[in-house]
Amino acid sequence: MAKKDRMSGNEAVAYAMKQIDPDVMGAFPITPSTEIPQYFAKYIADGKVHTEFVAVESEHSAMSTCIGAEAAGARAITATSSAGLAYMYELLYVASSSRLPVVMAVVNRALTGPININNDHSDSMGCRDAGWIQIYAENNQEVYDNYIQAMPIAEHCRLPIMICQDGFITSHAVENIELLDDASVKDFVGEYDPEHYLLNEEEIYSVGPYGVSPYYMEIKKAQAEAMKSAPARIKEVGEAFGQMSGRGYGMLEEYRMDDAAYAVVLIGSSAGTGKAAVDMLRADGMAAGLIKVRVFRPFPAEELAIALAGTKAVAVMDKAESFSGQGGPLFAETRSALYEAEDRPYMMNYVYGLGGRDVTIETFDEVFEDLQEVAATGDTGDGYRHIGVREA
Amino acid sequence: MKKQGNTVEIRWHGRGGQGAKTACLLLADVAFSSGKQVQGFPEYGPERMGAPITAYNRISDDKNSVHSNIYHPDYVVVVDETLLHTVDVTSGLSEDGAIIVNSTREPAEVRELLGGYKGKVCTVDAEKISVETLGKNFPNTPMLAAAVKVSNVVENHKFLHDMESSFKHKFASKPYVIDGNMKALRMSMDQVKVG
């Protein structure tokens, strides 16, 4: 029986972890993800879970702990943010190339410079090419639901996975949520039964050896192939989750896109604000729509091209700079996804919400107004813009 | 400023350590208990004890998907009166709404500090109530009650009932503080002055 409750995004993740009861957690505190290991440690202290908690001295060691535990054949989890994620950087590649399905809760926070604790996506976007699956959430319900889907996806694909949510905006906000009962979660996630693992005395096995040139590219290609086949599993798990909970998930969510002429494409909590803007613009007669990219790695290029077919003008909104001089990471990938499409829409990029800069319904009104103008005049001007920036 | 449906939006101003964030989360709790869709969230920055902090509530019958701060609230609650001099507490506040200030003063006197705000100005001496009922200055409990009374965002009877259950749970190990807290809520609801 599902239970109606209210809790913060961090509590929701810790609660999902409790329901799953994984073998090992290695974690080091960093704002705004600190509450996750904090709540979870209480579950351990109260005897609610049987997890071995390894209190490490850094995130580098937290990820190393997860790698060691997963290699041994255990389910291992961690949680981090911002500079903590950056400190794991080297190990992220070790986990993915060793094909270890570590599950990491990422509470997105600006990757410092200047120092800032608030939300944007620069931390996880910075490691988008590390070979991890990345799933993002709009609200507390989604981050809870995504977390429960993480192991069935990652363990099947043999790829590590990041379950991301927006720091403070969802991690520290109390909202309504519907929780599944423990038995349903346990049943859905199932037991972890790795094919190869170090503690298997029947099989001599080694993890993480030197990759000599004659083998290295084959290993990388195998990782790439695993990522290419991951969408099928992500969709399969999302559908099964929907059958259980009534909340199904795919690679992306289309909101009022059926006859949309103008659309925004974005990731995370601001999608909820964007949906409210779309509803109001629709009420005023504008054919507005929104696409929320749920899975950024692997990138849903095909789905995006289909969903955006028929639109006149599209704004891709990035909550991270990539300093490419021509737009953020979501923009680059979305534009590339539409390269082969016929009747391509005009496409704009808006970098927004960096370091916690607030994003309101009016921000979206401004974007949609621009899109109408671009479609009418055929002139995108400088298509790479920063929105919500104070004038000098 | 646009908002979704029939949402009631509340902004809290306090100083770090006074419990404005806790009161905001408690309001989300009690509104949830009465079947509402809720949001309760603080605005975080480089806070420390005594620095001004802001927290927000959205309360509605239907799901609210907006994840921005609140700039045009229906109600503002000021837990620390000294903030009236440093923070523009009525910024964007609806004139059909109200501001509720922790103060020993009459609403008319406080109104003079509010730069021409035309809506309701309410005051309650949360410090006095807290000291009388709890023996210490915890202004957030009386301020929560005054906010509920003035905004009527949760039915008052239901509010008191839910708070009692919540205190019984929260203070299971020190039941002697439950009565004091309940008394603080009731006194505040009786004594809040609407001007």
Which CATH number characterizes residue B176's domain? 3.40.920.10
Task: Say whether A170 and B63 touch across the interface (CB within 8 A).
Answer: no
Instruction: Report percent pLDDT > 70 for chain A.
Output: 100
Task: Spell out the domain ranges in chain A.
Answer: 3-245, 252-386
Name the residue among A118, A276, A362 with its Cβ closest to that of B44.
A118
**C-alpha to C-alpha distance for A218 and A367, rounded to whole angstroms:** 44
Q: Which of A63, A98, A104, A91 is nearest to A194 (CA)?
A: A98
Please indicate if any CB of chain B lies within 8 Å of the CB of A387.
Answer: no
Q: Give A244-265 pLDDT, tens digit per residue.
A: 999 999 999 999 999 999 999 9
Residue B3 lies in a domain: no
- The whole-number pLDDT of residue A1 equals 75
Provide the pLDDT confidence category of residue B173 given band limits of 50, 70 and 90: confident
Tokens of A189: 């996630």
Is 80 exceeded by the pLDDT of residue B3? no
For the residues B119-124, what does the mean pLDDT come to?
98
Residue B86 lies in a domain: yes
For the residues A178-201, what does the mean pLDDT come to?
96
Residue B114 lies in a domain: yes
d(CA B166, nearest CA chain A) in Å: 14
What residue in A sits closest to B1 (Cα-Cα)? Answer: A362
- Positive or negative: CA dihedral A329, A330, A334, A337: positive
| Selected residue of A3, A120, A171, A174 to mutate for chain B interface (largest B Cβ count, 10 A) | A174
Task: Say whether B38 and A174 touch across the interface (CB within 8 A).
Answer: yes
- The whole-number pLDDT of residue A85 equals 98
Residue with tokens 């534009």: A335
Q: Which of A61, A65, A62, A83 is nearest to A74 (CA)?
A: A65
- The whole-number pLDDT of residue B167 equals 87
Which range has the worst mean pLDDT, A137-141, A270-274, A301-305, B135-139? B135-139
- The whole-number pLDDT of residue B1 equals 55
- The whole-number pLDDT of residue B49 equals 81
Sort out which chain A residues have CB atoms less than 8 A from B46's CB and list them.
Answer: 117
- The whole-number pLDDT of residue B45 equals 72
Please state which CATH class domain A252-386 belongs to.
alpha beta
**C-alpha to C-alpha distance for A65 and A83, rounded to whole angstroms:** 18
Please state which CATH class domain A3-245 belongs to.
alpha beta
**Quick check: do A3-245 and A252-386 share a fold?**
yes
**Range of the structural domain that residue B124 is part of:** 8-194
Is residue A121 within 8 Å of residue A148, measured between CB atoms? Answer: no
- DSSP annotation of A326 reads S
Is 90 exceeded by the pLDDT of residue A196? yes
Is 60 exceeded by the pLDDT of residue A92? yes
- The whole-number pLDDT of residue B6 equals 86
Sort out which chain B residues have CB atoms less than 8 A from A139's CB and list them.
Answer: 65, 67
Residue B99 lies in a domain: yes
Q: Give A316-342 pLDDT, tens digit per residue.
A: 999 999 999 999 999 999 999 999 999
Tally of domains within chain B: 1
- Positive or negative: CA dihedral B183, B186, B189, B193: negative
Name the residue among A139, A275, A361 with its Cβ closest to that of B2.
A361
Residue B2 lies in a domain: no
